[in-house]
Amino acid sequence: MIYISVVFAFCQFFSDAVDVSRAVFFSVGQGDSALVVDSGEVVVVDVGYDGTASLKLGQQLGRGKYIDHLVLSHFHKDHVGGLMYVLESYGVGKVHIPWVCSDSFEFEFLDGLYDGEVKMYSSGVEGDLSYHGPEAPRDCVHSGNINNASLVYSHRDSLLFLGDVESERELLLKDEIGSDYRVVKVAHHCSSSSSTIDMVQQINPDFAVCSYGENSYGHPSEDVVRRFEDVGSEVLHTIDGDITIEL
């Protein structure tokens, strides 16, 4: 049975935090952060701009202060700004970052802290986790649009997290990204820069999540929302509160 709820901060607790398999898309203002709990395994995808995601993880995980996989899509503040709060509060097994270096504080901190333990994924599969890597140069050149270097992550062919990829990158992903997902974290805060009609028809999700807060960028694009509605997706917005989908 599909169960969807839009819940607001401080309302959501699970008695045994890792027993309920679920995806939670946090309301973290203008940014991205999500939690996937599947058969006891904890995956966090992006950590928002500030300490909000860390607080919300605490509500979700209760005494379980361990994250098996921390996936960082790319090193823009609205996705990694909360990193230090999370690292202070939780044990982390593996950190997954895109194969593009960054001169950001967060990248350099991770590089120093984890040294060889930071997994630099361009593509590959590890258990239930699949990474659809960037076609960007796999070195430390800081050029081009870092949105298009986003680590794209899918979970058991059911959940898809598109980071902030834009339409040029979507074209490159077309042959490897799969189709007909149950839940998609829509690219780039549902901006008009992404989610071409071809891509929306291919990924064709039951639930399309637009992750954004108050902003001056025009997120979400009405056209993008309509494209998802046209393929039958239910479009959900984190500005309305945390979104929980049982798996």
Binding interface with Zn ion (CB under 5 A): 78, 164
Which SS3 state, helix, strand or coil, does residue 197 take? helix
CA distance 145 to 151: 13
CA distance 165 to 135: 11
Identify which of residues 54 and 150 has a Cβ nearer to Zn ion in the complex.
150
Give min distance, CB of 223 to Zn ion, in A.
19
Identify which of residues 78 and 166 has a Cβ nearer to Zn ion in the complex.
78
Residue 107 corresponds to which amino acid? F
Give min distance, CB of 70 to Zn ion, in A.
17
CA distance 44 to 36: 6
Overall residue count recorded for the chain in this entry: 247
Closest CA to 134 of 152, 116, 113, 154: 152
Identify which of residues 168 and 206 has a Cβ nearer to Zn ion in the complex.
168
What order of strands is seen across the sheet that includes strand 159-161? 124-126, 129-132, 152-155, 159-161, 183-185, 207-210, 234-237
Identify which of residues 17 and 169 has a Cβ nearer to Zn ion in the complex.
169
Identify which of residues 106 and 164 has a Cβ nearer to Zn ion in the complex.
164
Give min distance, CB of 40 to Zn ion, in A.
30
Give min distance, CB of 228 to Zn ion, in A.
18
Closest CA to 207 of 167, 160, 169: 160
Identify which of residues 78 and 106 has a Cβ nearer to Zn ion in the complex.
78
Residue carrying structure tokens 């891509």: 199
Give min distance, CB of 219 to Zn ion, in A.
9
Total Cβ atoms within 10 A of residue 167: 17
Is 216 buried (19+), middle (13-18) or exposed (0-12) by CB count in 10 A?
A: exposed
Identify which of residues 17 and 209 has a Cβ nearer to Zn ion in the complex.
209
Give min distance, CB of 185 to Zn ion, in A.
11
Note whether 239 and 32 are within 8 A (CB).
Answer: no
CA 215 and chain centroid, separation: 19
